[in-house]
Amino acid sequence: MHEMALAGSIRDIIDEVAHAHGDRRVERVVLEIGELAAVEISALRFGLEVALKDSFGENAIIDIIAVAGSGWCMRCATTVALPRRDAACPQCGSYQIQPTAGTEMRVKELMLAAVNEAAVDDEAHERSDHV
C-alpha cells in the first residue's frame, strides 16, 4: 500500500509550505492524480486522514482532481484516450501505446488559513486608538 507513503510525502509538503508562511494552518488541499498513476483514491484518503493528524493540514478539505489518461499509439501515430495502462488503442487495436498524460500526481494548490485573527483584532484596535 504505497498510498501511505504518498500521504506522508503530501504531509511533508503541507508542513513545509505552512511553516514557510508563518506556521499557518492549511484549510484546503487540491491534488491532481492521473488515472494511470496507480493510486487507489480511497486508500490515499485514508492515508491522509492518518498522516495529517497533529499537523498543519489536520481537518483540511482534500479535493482530488482526476487527470484523464492518454497515450501516443505507435502503430497509427495518433493520441488516444487511455483509461488503463493495459488498454488497446481504440483506433487500431494495438497495445504499443506510450502514455502521455494521466501518470502524474501533484499537489496543485494549498489554501492557508487567514493570518491569526487575534493579530488582526489588535491591529484594528491600534488603528481605532490613533483615529
pLDDT in tens, 45-70: 999 999 999 999 999 999 999 999 99
Looking at residues 78-87, what average pLDDT do you find?
95
- Domain 3-130 listed as CATH 3.65.10.10: no
Give SS3 for 32: strand
Average pLDDT value for residue range 31-40? 97
Mean pLDDT of 100-111: 97
CB 61 within 8 A of CB 14: no
Q: Measured between alpha carbons, how far is 57 from 127 in angstroms, rounded to an integer? A: 33
The domain spans of the chain are 3-130
**Alpha carbons 60 and 77: distance in angstroms, whole number:** 43
pTM as predicted: 0.79
